[in-house]
């Protein structure tokens, strides 16, 4: 797979949205056609589409699909009912801030557009397509900026990543895996170590799938192996994505990321977070304020149709954890690598 033939998980085509069904990978490559807002909300909630930037893009299109279903010529009634559409989409995934950012941007577009209701609908489609295109451009910029701050030695790096922050989690190219891609294209990558990422196995199912499609050398390890690999000197850098970053640099990412950050600190391995500036929630002072989604315990006690735990046990299934800013070497954004302590100065550059 070349740079011009990449994975695009959210695509507007004709009169509907096409989503790669990520719940079926890697066993089956399937595309789901979405033409109703309710179906988009369900696709986000059930993780047919997942990854903070991709969720944001999908939600933007969901807003347009919802607007298309509003039958009124009254501007005031249209805007009132559009807020109800926004509320439905906001309720799908509480942690990924790009979801809320995209919805707010779509609402602002509708409120600021002058003209008949049909003109408002068209402006919403145009904005959703703009958000889509911007995210793809942003991811490629993150990849290039990340390449600039990766360790200069060895000549070819071994990078560990957790969960999936690749093309499947964005409009394309990826954030953390975008950095990996840029390193690969520029001859700086020897191998990727992909944590399996229990309980949904996004590293095993999605990150490894993306790498194999593109010919990037990848080794899947269980979540408990990261410390061993770093102790053996097998990892030169860690690069992960983010679902929400507080103003102080505390970072929410898939459960298990905090473990990796602690291990990286103990072994003096740089730990990078790769995310667009839109993932920073400047309204939150620190990570204690980030809402953590809890998912169905079935994800823990069952793999596929196989129950792996004894009856009578209790289960806890937070989908994310928060890595403190003091464990983050730098946050790689489209504007470059930023120290967590420097985030505040970029607040005015965040598009709303």
pTM: 0.93
Q: Which among 245, 235, 236, 107 is positioned nearest to 175, based on CA atoms?
A: 245
Output the pLDDT for position 348: 72
Q: Which residues are catalytic?
A: 243
Compute the distance between CA of residue 195 and CA of residue 5 in angstroms, rounded to an integer.
26
Residue that is written with structure tokens 């695009």 in the block: 8
Q: How confident is the model at residue 1 (pLDDT cuts 50, 70, 90)?
A: very low
Q: Within this chain, do residues 113 and 190 fall inside the same structural domain, yes or no? A: no
Confidence bin at 280 (pLDDT 50/70/90): very high
Q: Identify whether residues 130 and 168 lie together within a single domain.
A: no
Q: What is the pLDDT of residue 304?
A: 85
**Average pLDDT of 189-201?**
97
**Structural domains of the chain, count:** 2
Side-chain-side CA neighbours of 271 within 13 Å: the count stands at 26
Together in a domain, 156 and 133: no
Domain co-membership, 209 together with 315: yes
Residue 1 lies in a domain: no
Instruction: Taking residues 285-297, report their average pLDDT.
Output: 96
Q: From residue 323, give the alpha-carbon distance in Å to each of 5, 123, 200.
A: 34, 38, 20
Is 2 a member of any domain?
Answer: no
Burial track 92-125 (b if 16+ CB lie within 10 A, e otherwise): bbbbbbbbbbbbebbbebbeebeeebeebbebbb
Q: Give tens-digit pLDDT for 227-266.
A: 999 999 999 999 999 999 999 999 999 999 999 999 999 9
Is 4 part of a structural domain of the chain? Answer: no
pLDDT of residue 3: 42
Residues 173, 321 share a domain: yes
Q: Are 233 and 258 members of one domain?
A: yes
pLDDT tens, position by position, 57-100 = 999 999 999 999 999 999 999 999 999 999 999 999 999 899 99
Residue where a domain stops, chosen among 138, 165, 180? 138
For residues 174 and 234, membership in a common domain is answered with: yes
Domain end position, chosen among 76, 107, 138: 138
Both 96 and 178 in a single domain? no
Flag whether 5 is in a domain. no
Residues 54 and 192 in one domain: no
Give the model's pLDDT for residue 201. Answer: 96
Q: What average pLDDT does the segment 116-139 reach? A: 97
Considering the domain boundaries, does residue 294 fall inside one?
yes
CA angle 138, 352, 21 (to 5 degrees): 55
Q: DSSP strand E in 7-70: where? A: 10-13, 16-20, 31-34
**What's the CATH code of the domain at 183?**
3.40.50.10470
Percentage with pLDDT > 70 across the chain: 97
- Written as one string, the DSSP assignment of 213-256 is HHT--EEEE-GGGHHHHHHTT--SEEEE--SEEETTS-EEEETT
Contacts of 88 (CB under 8 A, 6+ apart): 37, 38, 41, 66
Task: Tell me: do 99 and 172 sit in the same domain.
Answer: no
The DSSP element (H or E) to which 338 belongs, if any, is strand 336-338
Indicate whether 277 pLDDT > 80. Answer: yes
Q: Is residue 87 part of a domain?
A: yes
Same structural domain for residues 73 and 173? Answer: no
Residue appearing with tokens 């002058």? 114
Check residue 327 and report its DSSP letter.
Answer: G
Strand partners, 321: 253
Does 297 lie in the same domain as 276? yes
**What's the CATH code of the domain at 60?**
1.20.120.420
Q: In whole angstroms, how far apart are CA 219 and each of 3, 29, 98, 169, 185?
A: 22, 21, 30, 20, 18
Is residue 194 a part of any domain in this protein? yes
- Tell me the residue range of the domain where 278 lies: 143-349
Domain end, chosen from 88, 123, 138, is at: 138
Residue 15 lies in a domain: yes
């Amino acid at each position: 797979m070349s740079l011009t033939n990449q994975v695009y998980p959210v695509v507007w085509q004709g009169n509907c949205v096409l989503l790669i069904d990520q719940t079926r990978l890697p066993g089956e490559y399937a595309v789901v056609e979405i033409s109703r807002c309710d179906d988009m909300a369900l696709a986000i909630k059930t993780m047919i589409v997942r990854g903070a930037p991709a969720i944001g893009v999908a939600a933007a299109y969901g807003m347009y699909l919802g607007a298309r279903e509003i039958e009124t010529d009254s501007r005031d009634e249209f805007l009132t009912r559009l807020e109800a559409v926004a509320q439905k989409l906001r309720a799908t995934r509480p942690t990924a801030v790009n979801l809320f950012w995209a919805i707010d941007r779509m609402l602002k577009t509708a409120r600021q557009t002058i003209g008949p209701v049909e003109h408002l609908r068209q402006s919403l489609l145009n904005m959703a397509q703009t958000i889509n295109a911007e995210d793809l451009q942003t991811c490629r910029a993150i990849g290039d900026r990340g390449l600039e701050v990766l360790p200069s030695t060895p000549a070819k790096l071994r990078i560990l990543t957790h969960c999936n922050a690749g093309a499947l989690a964005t409009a394309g190219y990826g954030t953390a895996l975008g950095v990996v891609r840029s390193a690969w294209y520029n001859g700086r990558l020897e191998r990727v170590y992909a944590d399996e990422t229990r309980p949904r196995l996004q590293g095993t199912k999605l990150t490894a799938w993306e790498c194999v499609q593109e010919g990037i050398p990848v080794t899947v390890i269980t979540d408990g192996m990261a410390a061993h690999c770093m102790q053996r000197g097998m990892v030169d850098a860690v690069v992960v994505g983010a679902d929400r970053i507080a103003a102080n640099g505390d970072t929410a990412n898939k459960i298990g990321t905090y473990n990796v950050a602690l291990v990286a600190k103990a072994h003096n391995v740089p730990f990078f977070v790769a995310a667009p500036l839109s993932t920073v929630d400047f309204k939150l002072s620190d990570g204690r304020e980030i809402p953590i989604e809890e998912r169905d315990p079935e994800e823990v006690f069952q793999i596929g149709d196989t129950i792996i735990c004894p009856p009578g046990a209790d289960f806890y299934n937070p989908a994310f954890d928060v890595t403190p800013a003091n464990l983050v070497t730098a946050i790689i954004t489209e504007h470059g690598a930023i120290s967590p302590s420097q985030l505040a100065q970029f607040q005015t550059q965040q598009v709303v």
